[in-house]
Amino acid sequence: MITLADKKMHGEDGSVIAYYDNEHIGKTAGPTIILLHGYCGSSAYWERVLPTIKDAGRVIIPDLRGHGASSAPESDTYAMADFADDVIRLMDHLYVHQAYLIGHSLGGYITLAAAERHAERLCGFGLVHSTAYADSEEAKAGRDRAAASIEQAGVDAFVEGLVPKLFAPEHLESMPEQVERVKAIGRGTSPRGAAASARGMKARPDRNAVLEGTQLPVLLLAGGQDGLIAPERTFSVARSNVKHALLERSGHLGMIETPEEEAAELLAFVQR
């Protein structure tokens, strides 16, 4: 099984959230940092960043519902608020009062929902290769096609088509092992979870008002070669408490393509 998560939280409803937590090696000093992966990913997305940031404080990395080793609730749609509430339940389970919440892609949409619903639980938050904008009509149609394809043909074929779009063109050639690993991680996604997550992303509202209204520190990080979310879609708000960071050589997976650069930006943000 390909997963960084090595612990599990069991809910009263039978649900399971798998997660990584470095508390067992004594990393409780400093801030708590929670990292959320993207669509058809898992906590393992962050494994190349972890060696750099693991000494900065307590690092918690869950598998989102329907992904990795976490369970897939029986629902047609996983709303971003549902994911956000999962994060808060995990924080409660681990006795974490406040944390920096950093979300990649889908994880960024969840982070915004958490900042909207549970701002008092956050020290700050970040969007990594993500956006506060809602889907365009074209993108919404694409979510419907993705859900239908997954339900009809399974997740493996969908992941084969998705993963090449996540990397900068040059990295498709120079990082074949990482490309294959991301595909393997994706194949571990529950088909039900992948389809329900696609519908949840389609339904999410524009949350730029969250960025415009928060007093918390915010990190907006984009990839210069990102073919899915252009930097201007990430850098939608400019305020004194909002930091913009551009990884020039990265596509949609900076934590895998340029992990040292991404880790440095995360560290600078939480240690500001």
pLDDT tens digit sequence for 159-189 = 999 999 999 999 999 999 999 999 999 999 9
Give the chain's domain count: 1
Is 2 part of any domain? no
Is 1 part of any domain? no
Asked whether the CA dihedral 265, 45, 205, 246 is positive or negative, the reply is positive
pLDDT value of residue 73: 96
Task: Spell out the alpha helix ranges (H) of 35-187.
Answer: 50-53, 80-93, 106-117, 137-153, 155-166, 169-174, 176-187
Contacts of 156 (CB under 8 A, 6+ apart): 187
pLDDT value of residue 28: 54
Is 264 part of any domain? yes
Is 117 part of any domain? yes
Edge-to-edge strand ranges of the sheet holding 32-36: 7-10, 16-21, 58-62, 32-36, 99-104, 122-128, 218-223, 242-247
Pairing of strands 7-10, 32-36: unpaired
Both tokens of 52, joined, read 């750099």
pTM of the model: 0.97
Taking 50 as the pLDDT cut, the residues of the chain under it are none
pLDDT tens digit sequence for 225-235 = 999 999 999 99
Q: Is residue 34 within 8 Å of 62, Cβ to Cβ?
A: yes
Pairing of strands 32-36, 16-21: unpaired
Contacts of 213 (CB under 8 A, 6+ apart): none
Tell how far CA 44 is from the center of its chain.
11
- Which residue segment(s) compose the domain that 247 sits in? 7-270
Both tokens of 136, joined, read 């365009």
Pairing of strands 7-10, 16-21: antiparallel
Q: What is the CATH number of the domain that holds 233?
A: 3.40.50.1820
Is 158 part of any domain? yes
For every residue of 76-90, DSSP letters joined together read S---HHHHHHHHHHH
For 171, the 3-state DSSP assignment is helix
pLDDT value of residue 23: 82
The residue type found at 214 is: T
Q: Is residue 65 within 8 Å of 83, Cβ to Cβ?
A: yes
Q: 95's torsion region: left (phi>0), alpha (psi -120 to 50) or beta?
A: left
